[in-house]
Amino acid sequence: MQYLRIQAESFSEAVKEPIHLLFGLASKVAKVNKSLEKLFCILNMRRALFDTTPILTTVFDAEFVKIEVGGVVAALTAKGMLLDLKILVQTCRTQHELTQGNVLRITEFLMKYIKLLVNHTRNLDPILCQGQADDLLNIEGVNLTGHLVSGIFTDLELVV
C-alpha cells in the first residue's frame, strides 16, 4: 500500500511540469490576435477545462489544479472579445455595400456570428454569468446568450 502511494505521488510530480506547460500554451493562445474563430476556440477550451477539472483534482493536488486552471480561465476571457464586437458594430460606418444576395456585409457577418453564438449557448452562458453584478443581461425567460444576440440586433439596427 505504501509503495502504491509513493508511486502515485511520483507520477503526480512527474507530470505536473507537462501539465503546467499545456496550461501555459492555452494562456498564450489567449494573447494572440482576436478573431471570430478564436472566440469559439476559447469557448471550447474553457468548457474542456471545466469538464476535466474534477478528474485533474483526483490525480493532482487540488490547490495545484485550482491555481493552474484558474490562471488559464482568467486568460481565456470571452467577455472582452464580445465587448470588442459590440464596439465594432456600434462604430461601423457601412457604405451600404451589398453582397451578391443583396445583404449588407456587416449583416452577413453578424448572422454567421449569431449562429455560432447560439450554437455555443451552453459554453457561453456560464461565462456571461461570471461577475454579473447588474441586471443588464438578466431578463426573465431569456438566457444570457439570447439577450446578447438581441443586443447585437439592436446595435445593427442603429448602424444600418
Q: Tell me: the pLDDT tens digits for 26-66? A: 777 666 666 666 777 777 777 788 888 888 888 777 888 88
Asked if residue 12 and residue 40 are part of one domain, the reply reads: yes
Per the structure, the complete domain to which residue 146 belongs is given by 79-159
Tell me: do 88 and 132 sit in the same domain: yes
CA–CA distance, 65 with 38 (Å, rounded to integer): 24
**Distance, CA of 66 to CA of 53 (rounded, Å):** 8
Which of 85-89, 92-96, 114-118, 130-134 reaches the highest mean pLDDT? 114-118
139 forms beta bridges with 142
Strand partners, 142: 139
Whether 9 and 63 map to the same domain: the answer is yes
Domain-ending residue, one of 75, 108, 139: 75
8 Å CB contact between 147 and 139: yes
Query: What is the rounded CA–CA span in Å between residue 40 and residue 29?
Result: 12
| Residue 107 sits in the same domain as residue 60 | no
83 and 58 in one domain?
A: no
**pLDDT tens-digit map of 86-108:** 777 667 665 555 556 666 677 77
> Of 18, 41, 75, which residue sits at a domain end?
75
Range name among 9-23, 55-69, 106-120, 136-150 with the lowest pLDDT average: 136-150
99 lies in the same domain as 71: no
Q: Are 73 and 129 in contact (CB under 8 A)?
A: no
Report the domain count for the chain: 2
Q: Is the pTM of this model over 0.75?
A: no
C-alpha cell at 86: 459590440
What pLDDT sits at residue 159? 60
Containing 76, the helix (H) or strand (E) segment is none
Question: Does one domain contain both 91 and 41?
Answer: no
Note whether 153 and 95 are same-domain residues. Answer: yes
Measured in degrees and rounded to the nearest 5, phi and psi for residue 150 equal -60, -40
